[in-house]
Amino acid sequence: MLFLMGLKVRLLGVRGSLPSPLVPGEIENRIRSRLSEFVELTRANPALTLEEFMASLPPEKLGGFGGNTPCIEYTCGNDRLIVDGGSGIRTLGFELMKGPCGQGKGEVHIYLTHFHWDHLIGFPFFVPLFIPGNLIHIYGVSNQLESVFRTLFQRPYFPVSYEQLGAKFVFHSLPPRVPQKLGEITFTPYQLDHPDPCWGVRVEAGGKAVAHCVDSEATRTTEDQLGPDLPLYQNADLMIFDAMYTLGEAIEKMNWGHSAATIGLDIAIRQKIKQVVFMHHDPASSDEKIQQAVRQTLRYHESQIKSARRLNETLFSVDWSFATEGRIITFE
């Protein structure tokens, strides 16, 4: 019997553009509101446990969607591909330090979609880079990979220079749309629609495929328009999609390089993608505002289902959600 190891996707940073922590006043208000709600509810139902109450709360009423910028971890067995080095990569660095990286025997593989600050800002705080003996592989569709790292680690922006970093770097300038093997994981770069070139990635492992489509305005949506980048999306089991804006904002902010959940949902239905996670939340969006976008997407999806029913058609079923930091998606 052939045993396939499962692909695991971990969302370490899902905010776009700028790290956006909840401020103390917001946290205090949230704690105050939930405490008084819990007290009120237990008056009517004394058997209600704290765990049950917390499990019933949506993200905007509890921990929120998260404030760290993009970093997604793909693992299959012992193989790991990290996509982007936003502020979310910092905590992953601490985790990796508990393994071979802490002894200078680690090998880390990081794919960069593009070089906007929000996708690089975690690197100066990614501890494995400072440990002599570690080997850091950086992949991207660019011949600027090394010069970007030299720029990141230089005064007056950061006190440790590139030459002083303990780890050794290997830069892999990838050809577009050519599959790369990393143990059990295969990853293939495809171009997205962004003001500076941005290369999404199709990650395949354990018989499953993920279309990683962040950052993208998704101005090309039909099969003809997508042309050579169509295979990024086709029959993916999961799509991670840039939904920084509501549909109205995406129209207002045309050419800013980001999209909306409703656009991603259309692509998923057309390309038969079973599951979609929307991320790159706008730093200007409160958790309540993101929840409004969830409701807008739900209304849009329901209207699509109704109009398909009127035409006696069956709409491809898509399970979608808005990303929360720390979430893990596993496949059998």
Residues in touch with Zn ion (CB under 5 A): 16, 116, 118, 215
CB-nearer residue toward Zn ion: 91 or 259 = 259
Q: Which is nearer to Zn ion, 204 or 215 (CB)?
A: 215
Least Å from the CB of residue 295 to Zn ion: 24
Please report the sign of the dihedral spanned by the C-alpha atoms of residue 112, residue 115, residue 121, residue 124: positive
* CB 203 to Zn ion: min, Å: 18
Tell me which DSSP letter residue 183 carries: T
Mind giving me the DSSP string for 133-174?
T-EEEEEES-S-HHHHHHHHS-TTT-SS-GGG-SSEEEEEEP
Closest separation between CB of residue 310 and Zn ion, Å? Answer: 38
CA distance readout (Å), 99 to 11, 12, 134, 301: 20, 18, 11, 44
* CB 14 to Zn ion: min, Å: 11
Q: Shortest Cβ distance from residue 82 to Zn ion (Å)?
A: 15
Smaller CB separation from Zn ion, 59 or 257: 257
- Mapped onto helix, strand or coil, the DSSP state of residue 75 is strand
Closest by CA position to 184, among listed 75, 72, 52, 324: 75
Closer CB to Zn ion, 215 or 229, in the complex: 215
In the complex, the smallest distance separating the C-beta of residue 78 from Zn ion, rounded to whole angstroms, is: 29
Judged by beta carbon, residue 16 or residue 264, the one nearer Zn ion is: 16
CA–chain centroid gap for 178, Å, is 22
CA distance 213 to 149: 23
Name the residue with the smallest CB distance to Zn ion.
116
The nearest distance, CB 287 to Zn ion, in angstroms, is 19
For residue 147, the tally of other CB atoms under 10 A from its CB is 13
Query: Radius of gyration over alpha carbons of the chain, in Å?
Result: 21
Alpha helices in 153-245 (DSSP H): 223-226
Task: Give the integer Cα–Cα distance in Å for 316 and 300.
Answer: 14
Q: Taking a C-beta distance cutoff of 8 angstroms, is the pair 162, 134 a contact?
A: no
Least separation in angstroms between residue 258's CB and Zn ion is: 8
37/252 with CB nearer Zn ion: 252
Of 10 and 116, the one with the shorter C-beta distance to Zn ion is: 116
State the amino acid at position 180 in one-letter form: Q
Specify the residue, 13 or 93, whose C-beta has the smaller distance to Zn ion. 13
d(C-alpha 152, C-alpha 164), whole Å? 13
Q: At 116, which amino acid appears?
A: H
Q: Which of 312, 315, 306, 302 is nearest to 272 (CA)?
A: 315
Give 183 or 197: the residue with its C-beta nearer to Zn ion.
197
3-state class (DSSP) for residue 181: strand
The least CB distance from residue 145 to Zn ion, in Å, is: 16
